[in-house]
Chains A and B, each alone.
Chain A
């Protein structure tokens, strides 16, 4: 299984430096298309995405991708809002809440 990365030119450059070969360069317009291409590739086990770029996707598509198991989509550099939302829905309590909130 391969590790892949998708994002802007700057974002993927570092991952290229770490040795990744499955790299998808996408900007705001082509993001959704590239993302679905990456998601349908069965060779990819893990897909690293820039958390900021996920805003380019419609909400339902984003949720679908983040829930995906094969490949696993791991947002890099963002907060934990997606997991937090899921935990809240399944358990019924906001477990990520800290005391100062």
Chain B
């Protein structure tokens, strides 16, 4: 709000004072929220870094195992075991709140590990190599599900931090200074009017006395 668009009246001044007070308390709260979010973020960051490394190492192990299985047993054997599987792992998505922000909480609905008798392919006809590869991928999947939760939390936290930071900065450097500018303008204008009035009255008084 540019100061020249404001009508310099007492009610406007009161309104402005109220607005400044509100913006300042809002600014304080926003700043606290930002700091709180950053503290939360640092906690998640460590976890996320470990998780990524975990996913990577699990992935490499799993890939190595499946490559060995494919080399020894042949592509078709591995594929047929994979297609014969009956399991269908499900996850449950819940949510929890961090600083009033909802973040997902991923829960594994049923165990990702399928019992060997429930796999759907013959135990005797498939080799241990395939079995090992399957176990390695089940482990990878487990890590992946946990990584998904932490990464989403982190992404959401980062978004919220960015948003809050922008709001804090807007309040601090734009809205509050502009309101204060307007307040100063109205105050000076009112004082000026007061002075004008006094001189005018004095002038009139002098004129009246001269007429008598």
Residues of A within 8 A of B45 (CB): 87, 95
B74 to chain A, nearest CB (A): 13
Q: Which residues of chain B have C-beta atoms less than 8 A from A74's C-beta?
A: 55, 144, 147-148, 151
Secondary structure of the A side of the interface? Answer: mixed
Interface range on chain B (Cβ under 8 Å from partner): 35 or more
**B91 near A20 (CB under 8 angstroms)?**
no
By the criterion CB–CB under 8 Å, are B141 and A3 in contact?
yes
A residues 73-93 near B (Cβ < 8 Å) are 74, 76-78, 80, 83, 86-87, 89-91
List residues of chain B with CB within 8 A of the CB of A13.
66, 78-79, 82
A74 to B152 alpha-carbon distance, docked (Å): 9
- B161 contacts A17, CB within 8 Å? no
**Distance to closest chain A CB from B206 (angstroms):** 66
- Residues of the B chain whose Cβ atoms lie less than 8 Å from the Cβ of A78: 56
Other-chain contact of A76, B55, B112, B134, B154 (Cβ < 8 Å): B55
With A1-B91, A77-B56, A91-B161 in contact, do A72 and B152 touch (Cβ < 8 Å)? yes
In the bound complex, residues from chain B placing their C-beta under 8 Å from that of A16 are 82-83, 85
